[in-house]
Amino acid sequence: MLSDARPEIRRNGYGAVASGRMAEFLSPEWIAQLDSAARASEAVRAATRELSATVQQIVPDAPGGGVQYHVTIDHGHVRIQAGPAATPDLTLLVDYEIARAINDGTATAQHALASGRLKITGGVAALAGHGSALVAIGDIFGAVRATTTYADTSDTIND
């Protein structure tokens, strides 16, 4: 879902958010903004030149239904697409609450893993030694974060 609010588009070394419109976290529009930012980023291309891997994320309890998306890294070409990956090297399974907290910067993946709220399957070794590539991709999420909205998941009943 897109909001009509129009924030200032910030440009940095990682590209600008494509439309400047505020996309809801995990929506198809949000995933498309990540993809646009990744494809526009020279920093991501440079950091991922030596890497080939596919990382899939699954958020089964997202508002409106489960969400899957994947990041495909192919020697400098990075795509972020909705849906399951055909053959992921690594799969991350996380609940919506912690996925949101990681995205908005109030939690870390390390904390989620240590607390058992992030489960990883597959070959972590595929990403070993590629810390700079992971940081560059993480910066794409940070660039889009400034224009991300979140579903209201409160259980409050208005009288």
Q: What is the DSSP string of 11-33?
A: --TT---SS--EEETTSHHHHHH
What is the DSSP secondary structure assignment for residue 9, as one 8-state letter? P
SS3 content of the chain, % helix, strand, coil (to 5): 35, 25, 40
What is residue 136's predicted lDDT score, i.e. its pLDDT?
Answer: 84
Are the beta carbons of 109 and 134 closer than 8 angstroms? no
Stretch 124-142: mean pLDDT, rounded? Answer: 82
- Under the banding of pLDDT at 50, 70 and 90, the label for residue 37 is very high
CA dihedral 132, 38, 102, 24 (to 10 degrees): 170
Range of weakest confidence among 87-101, 105-119, 136-150: 136-150
| Beta strand pairing call for 22-24 and 148-149 | parallel
Range of weakest confidence among 14-23, 26-35, 51-60: 14-23
What is residue 138's predicted lDDT score, i.e. its pLDDT?
Answer: 84
- Domain ranges, ordered by start, for the chain: 2-146
CA dihedral 47, 119, 117, 78 (to 10 degrees): 30
DSSP 66-95: -EEEEEEEETTEEEEEES--SS-SEEEEE-
Residue 1 predicted with pLDDT over 80: no
More confident residue, 107 or 8: 107
What is residue 20's predicted lDDT score, i.e. its pLDDT?
Answer: 54
Residue 108 predicted with pLDDT over 70: yes
Stretch 18-25: mean pLDDT, rounded? Answer: 73
The amino acid that residue 108 corresponds to is T
The amino acid that residue 135 corresponds to is V
In Å, how far are 12, 64, 132, 146, 149 from 104, measured between CA atoms? 19, 19, 21, 9, 10
Residue 121 predicted with pLDDT over 50: yes
* Domain 2-146 class in CATH: alpha beta
Distance CA 144, CA 126 (A): 26
Q: What percent of the chain has pLDDT over 70?
A: 84
Stretch 73-93: mean pLDDT, rounded? Answer: 96
Distance CA 32, CA 121 (A): 25
Q: What is the pTM of this model?
A: 0.80
Q: Give me the residues paired with residue 55 across strands.
A: 71, 90
